[in-house]
Amino acid sequence: MEFIEENAYLYTFVYYVVTMAAIVVSLFIFELVTKYKNWEQIKQGNIAVAMATGGKIFGVANIFRFSIEHSDSLGQTVIWGGFGFVLLLAAYFIFEFLTLKIKVDEEIEKGNTAVGLISLLISIGTSYVIGASIT
């Protein structure tokens, strides 16, 4: 592992690959927990779904940014990033649960950009709080 840490290009590449893999896995998990099919909706031009999905992508990437910055090893980065993702996923469920008058997934699937924007901002905002707490 020292060889990777001594080579800045290789170090960057390895952390890039790990982060991209984490984003792909997290998008797969979000696809399972949402009531709509993210990529089908995006293909159809649903801006609300694109905003919500973009917020999730940014949120995971931002958590890994903090995780890379504050971890001493790749393993520690993955653990913190994974834990941060679980917290981000919890924020998604809390948002859905606390909005009693709005069914978030249904509104996003219908193309409600206001709900999509709030979902995006919750993912981004939560990722900064999660990231800032990574030690």
Per-residue pLDDT of 89-120, as tens digits, reads: 999 889 888 887 889 999 999 999 999 999 99
Q: Is the pLDDT of residue 26 over 70?
A: yes
Q: Whole domain around residue 32: which residue ranges? A: 2-133
Q: How many helices (H) and strands (E) does the chain have?
A: 7, 0
Give the Cα separation of 107 and 122 in Å (integer): 16
Which secondary structure element, helix H or strand E, spans residue 47, and what is its range? helix 47-70
Do the beta carbons of residue 116 and residue 50 sit within 8 Å? yes
Global model pTM greater than 0.95: no
Give the Cα separation of 114 and 38 in Å (integer): 17
Domain total for the chain? Answer: 1
